[in-house]
Amino acid sequence: MVSDRSLEVLRVIVQDYVASREPVGSKSIVERHSFGVSAATIRNDMALLEEEELIAAPHTSSGRIPTDKGYRIFVDHLADLRPLTPAQRQAIETFLGQSTDLDEVLARSVRLLSQLTHQVALVQYPSLSRARVRHIELVQLTETRVLSVLITDSGRIEQRVVDLPHPVDEEALGDIRARLNVSIGGTTMAEAATALQHAGGLVPPRLSEVAGLIGSALIEQVGANRQDKLVMAGAANLVRTEEDFTGSIYPVLEAIEEQVVLLRLFDEMAIDQHGVSVSIGRENASFGLGETSVLTSGYTQAGGDKARLGVLGPTRMDYSNNMAAVRAVARYLSRLLGEN
């Protein structure tokens, strides 16, 4: 059994190692922390932690560093989620509040989260299985070119440029737009995709070919809304922590570029009592991420299912700060999107 004091020793080893990247010895623990016991007693505690495989010596006659198992105990039992500072919270509200649509707010979310945590930030587009078509807009760019705009009730916007086989005037384009909105306005993505296969039959014969082309573009836009995908930011942070990896970081970079890998990992991570899910080191080995930790939280939007937002970095990371940042951004994102 590991004593309460030994667990406190583990806590300071994790915190000091994360801060300094230097192995932590008993002497430095006694000097920097108020345990009220001798260095010899701390060494005994460290020996017990080492027997339990919670800490390890990176080389002979060195201090100790946390193992993946030690980080897991720290996160599950010892990590306190430090509240974000008022300045950090204000930055979240100000930066994300300037967003105008879903694409922009997600892009801003990962940039902000990357800045707050100094890790690679990831956000999953929410599944739109329950989303509905709010409106279709057709904007005439030239006589033979139209911008097709699909807007969902969740605020998602998809655009496509459609090249037409012959000139179409504004009145004809308005007729097509009105008929399409009557046909698929308020329908689900699946229902819209089915109805749009017959877009050419919704209009007079002279406009059938044009409506069919616009309908095909809209089917692609509907499909784009239904696909799982991720937005990322902060890959440079991973490069700056390259020393935390025993080998090359390129396999890690390749793994995060394979979005399907991260999406599968997200699906398997269960949210804990803090509202955050943490997967550490060897827990990620089957995904090619055995030297990384991944922290995620869930967010929701009006008309959409829950999706994940999080960070990825080396196992030596500031778990308390990063968990708090991930949770705070996810909660604000849910509130912001729920208002739209």
pLDDT band at 335 (very low <50, low <70, confident <90, very high): confident
Whether pLDDT at 225 is above 70: no
Chain centroid to CA 135:
28
Q: How far apart are CA 196 and CA 192, in angstroms?
A: 6
Q: Residue 129: what pLDDT?
A: 61
- Give the three-class secondary structure for 279: strand
- Cβ atoms of 189 and 129 within 8 Å: the answer is yes
Which pair of structure tokens corresponds to residue 265?
């990992």
Average pLDDT, the chain: 88
Look up tokens 């299985």; give the residue: 129
Q: Other C-beta atoms within 10 Å of 37: how many?
A: 14
Show me where the domains of the chain are located.
4-78, 86-127+228-339, 133-226
pLDDT band for position 310 (50/70/90)? very high
CATH architecture of 4-78: Orthogonal Bundle (1.10)
Structure confidence by residue, pLDDT tens digits, 325-334:
999 999 998 8
Please state the rounded mean pLDDT for residues 231-255: 88
Q: Is the pLDDT of residue 15 over 70?
A: yes
pLDDT in tens, 257-278: 888 888 889 888 877 666 799 9
CA dihedral 202, 211, 191, 224 (to 10 degrees): -170
C-beta neighbour count of 314 within 10 angstroms: 21
CATH architecture, domain 133-226: 2-Layer Sandwich (3.30)
In Å, how far from its chain's centre is CA 96?
Answer: 15
pLDDT of residue 273: 62
277 and 124 in contact (C-beta within 8 Å)?
Answer: no
What pLDDT does 226 receive?
55
Structure tokens at 246: 């025993």
Q: What's domain 86-127+228-339's superfamily in CATH? A: GAF domain (3.30.450.40)
Model confidence, pTM: 0.75
Q: Is the pLDDT of residue 302 over 70?
A: no
Q: Are 293 and 278 in contact (CB under 8 A)?
A: yes
